Each structure stands twice: as structure tokens, then as C-alpha cells.
Amino acid sequence: MIACLLALALWSAPAGQVAPSPDSAMTLTLDDAVRMALARSYQLQRSERSERIASERINSARAALGPHLDLSIGADQTQRYYDFRGAYDYSVATPQFSATAGINAYYDFDISGARKRSLEQSRLSGRSGAVDVELTALNVAIDARLTYIQALRAQQQMEIDREYLLLLEKLIAGAASRQPSVVDFLETERSNAALVLDQSKQGAQLALSNLRQLLRMETNQAVRLTTTLTDAAPVPPVTRLLELAYANRSDIRQSGIRLRQAKIAQSQATDFRWPSLRVSAFASHSLTGEALVHRWSDIGRSNSAGVALSFNLPIWSYDGGELSAARHIAAIQAEQALADAEEAKERARNEIAAEMIGIDRARSRIEQTPDAMQARQALQRAEEAMLSASPKDAPGLLAQVSNARQNWRSSVTLKYDALAAFYGEYFRLQRTLGTDAMK
């Protein structure tokens, strides 16, 4: 139903990412999250049930085109009592038994096409239900992806802040023996970094809680997100995006279905004026007597059978304009369906243009972010220079070390922010197109 997910997950850990959490945590990829959301979504289950109901209505309408066969059997036993008092006395009790078995078959020739039009309406309703299911599944998948990206970004920030703190602690340990005069300054910086880490932990816990709620997971289930976004995914040109939108958007497809339904409804408004033809046959076997058990020899038997051909041709009827109004309603509905299609296409063009602005901006941010590896190497050089300097010069180099550490943190943070922004826009573009198969 839903197209294959974009292959955007790579398993190599980038610079700035620390070791995974303990084995007790459940590892979850982006694909895993989407599959889990689709399997557990109440909203999608409701849409699928509605689709199954529409499918059964199609079967019902199709069955009306075929022959009908009825087989029945019935029996009854009665006891009548009559009593008279007068010039003479008279009383009598009369039992009576009867049983009938019959079979009746008939077939309506659809010479007017009315039943086929009814079947086509049912099929169109079924297609509308299928479109709703696809839309619901897409929305569930997109919501899962967006929520996953938000949680992943919060987890990444927590890991960045944790590594930032670890780098400080490692520097403090080295400075304790090589540059004791700068330890107090580094301790102050370490305290601030610990506070920042606590805040990022709270943000990650909240984001993961939102993801667990969306996926209907246990609230106390530890989760480790393992998908890593390393580069921007390719995006087709706008002309191709418009083709995808026109072919897959649910509002455009639904307007086409409504247009066909309205055209059929115009014909259905006069269906009863067409002639009808039915052929039928019946056969029955009856038993009559006083009782079935004790007087079997007195039971009477009768058989009957017949064939009938019925033809009806409506000549004239007056309905006060009811049929004319029905035709006008269907014509207006067809006109509205055409207008809805044009509106949906215009809305698709505007939404695609807006999403492409965000995607281009995010891609530009990705390309312009500084290299985290170079920033890390610069930090290492600044730390070594400070530790190797004389006790007199070391405090003066401390600011350079702090700036280098902030530059490293900013380079990693900016890259993750840009990637999260890009894929947020990318997934919203999938929703705009009505499909996640962007090829």
C-alpha cells in the first residue's frame, strides 16, 4: 500500500556521537518506527474497516445482477372444536394438517443498465475508501517519520552535550598535572556543561516519550534510535513533483471519483422510466390431511409448477419535478467535482513551491556547515598547545581552547540541525505529493 521508505539510513556513527546506550534499550530504526506505527494505528484500522465495508457493498451490488433462488418448507397442525346445544346436541373435533415445500427462482434482465450503474457506484465508493486508506497510511507514516526525526535530533543533542562534558573532564584530568592554574576555570566550565547536559536529557526524554506514545509502546520502554542521517536525499525536479502530485494526491483522485459518480447519478435519476423484464419459475409439493403421523393413508398430495415472464414498460408519470431536481443536483455535483480538481491542483502547486523553498534552504545550510572533523582537530591542537605552554602563558590560551570547543560543538549541532530541517521538509513534501515514492 505504502511505497518503500527512502533509503536514507546509514549505520556509521559520525564524529561527536558516543557509544550506544546499554543493551536493555530497544534499538529502533526509522523503518522500524514506520512499520510499527502502521501496524498499531487505530486510525488506519478504522479506515481499513471502512474499506472492507465498501468491498462488501460491491459484492452485494454484484449479487443483484445474478439469479435468485428461494427454497422454503412449512408445516402446520390445527385442531378445531365445534359444540352445539339446542333441539339436539352436537359436537365435533376436526384435526387438520398441511405441509408445503416450494422452490422459486427468478432473474431480472438488466435491459436498462440500472443495476450495472448501481454496481459501478458501489465500485467507485470502494475506490474512494481505498484512497482514504492510502491517505491515512501515508499520514501515519509521515507522522512517524517526523516524530522520529525530532526524537533523533534530541538524542543527538544529548550525545553532543555528553561528549562536550567528557572532553572537559578529560582536559581537567590532564591539566591537573600539567597546568594546575587553569583547573578552576575548567571546573566552572564543566559545571555549566553539566547543566546544559541535564537540559538536553530532559528534551530527549520528552521527544522519546512522544515517539513512544505515537507508536503505542510501553511508557517505561527504553529506546535507542539508531538511524543516522548523513546527507540530503535527492529531490526530483518540480515538473516531476507536479506529475507525482496530480497522480497521487487524494484530493485530486477523490474529485475524479466524485465526477464519475455524479455523471452516473444523472443517468440513475431516470432509471425507473426504463422497461424491466423478469423471468421466474416455481414448483411446490403439498401434503394435506388430518394428521401426519397416525393417518398417513389419508394424506393428500398435490404438485404445482409454473413459469412466468413479466415485462413492464412505464408510459408516463408525474413527480412534481423530483427527477428533474435530481438531475440538476447531479449536474451541479459534477461541476463542483471539476472545480475541486482544479483547486486541488492549484493547491498542490503552491504547497510544492513552499516546500521546495524550505528544502533548498535546508540543503544550502547542510552544504555551508563547517567540517566537524576539522573543528575537532583544531580543538585537540588548542588543548595540546595550552597544556604544553608555560604556566604563565597557559591562562591566556584557555580562551582559545574554550572557543575551539564551542566551534566543534557548533559545527556538529549545525550539521544535525540542517539535516533534521531538511528531512522534516522532505517528509512534509511527501505528504504534499500524496506518496513517499519520490522518483
In a domain, 16, yes or no: no
- Same-domain check for residues 305 and 381: no
Q: pLDDT value at position 298? A: 66
In a domain, 18, yes or no: no
pLDDT of 281 strictly over 80 = yes
Helix, strand, or coil here: 77?
Answer: strand
Q: Which of 9-13, 248-252, 315-319 has the highest average model confidence (pLDDT)?
A: 248-252
Q: pLDDT value at position 295? A: 59
- Same-domain check for residues 288 and 424: no
pLDDT band at residue 246 under the 50/70/90 scheme: very high
Percent of the chain beyond pLDDT 90?
61
Beta carbons of 301 and 121 less than 8 angstroms apart: no
Rounded Cα gap, residues 225 and 273, in angstroms: 66
- Same-domain check for residues 175 and 32: yes
Rounded Cα gap, residues 424 and 275, in angstroms: 60
b/e per residue 318-357 (b: at least 16 CB within 10 A): eeeeeeeebeeebeebbeebeebbeebbeebeebbeebbe
- Same-domain check for residues 184 and 286: no
Angle, helices 394-433 vs 114-178, to 10°: value is 180
What's the grid cell of residue 333?
455535483
Q: Which of 286-295, 304-313, 408-417 has the highest average model confidence (pLDDT)?
A: 408-417
- Same-domain check for residues 291 and 352: no
**pLDDT, tens digit (0-9, with 9 covering 90-100), for 78-100:** 877 777 777 777 777 777 878 89
More confident residue, 321 or 365: 365
**pLDDT, tens digit (0-9, with 9 covering 90-100), for 216-236:** 999 989 999 999 988 899 999
Q: What is the mean pLDDT of residues 55-78?
A: 88
Average pLDDT of the chain is: 87
Q: What is the mean pLDDT of residues 322-347?
A: 90
pLDDT band at residue 7 under the 50/70/90 scheme: very low
Q: pLDDT value at position 318? A: 79
Nearest alpha-carbon partner for 368 in 316, 426, 421, 321:
421
- Same-domain check for residues 262 and 297: no
In a domain, 14, yes or no: no
Q: What is the mean pLDDT of residues 148-172?
A: 95
In a domain, 1, yes or no: no
230: part of which helix (H) or strand (E)?
Answer: none
Q: What CATH number is given to the structural domain containing 161?
A: 1.20.1600.10
> Where in the sequence is the domain holding 128, given as residue range(s)?
26-65+113-273+324-433
Q: What is the mean pLDDT of residues 253-264?
A: 92
pLDDT of 4 strictly over 70 = no
pLDDT of 300 strictly over 50 = yes
Q: pLDDT value at position 314? A: 83
Q: pLDDT value at position 292? A: 62
pLDDT of 30 strictly over 50 = yes
Q: pLDDT value at position 396? A: 87
Nearest alpha-carbon partner for 32 in 234, 226, 219, 206:
226
Cell numbers 506514545 label which residue? 213
**pLDDT, tens digit (0-9, with 9 covering 90-100), for 172-221:** 999 999 989 899 999 999 999 999 999 999 999 999 999 999 999 999 89
* The domain boundary residue, chosen from 292, 312, 332: 312
Q: What CATH number is given to the structural domain containing 301?
A: 2.20.200
- How many domains would you assign to the chain? 2
- Same-domain check for residues 252 and 214: yes
More confident residue, 115 or 353: 353
- Same-domain check for residues 294 and 361: no
Helix, strand, or coil here: 221?
Answer: coil
pLDDT of 12 strictly over 50 = no
- Same-domain check for residues 165 and 194: yes
- Same-domain check for residues 203 and 300: no
- Same-domain check for residues 299 and 353: no
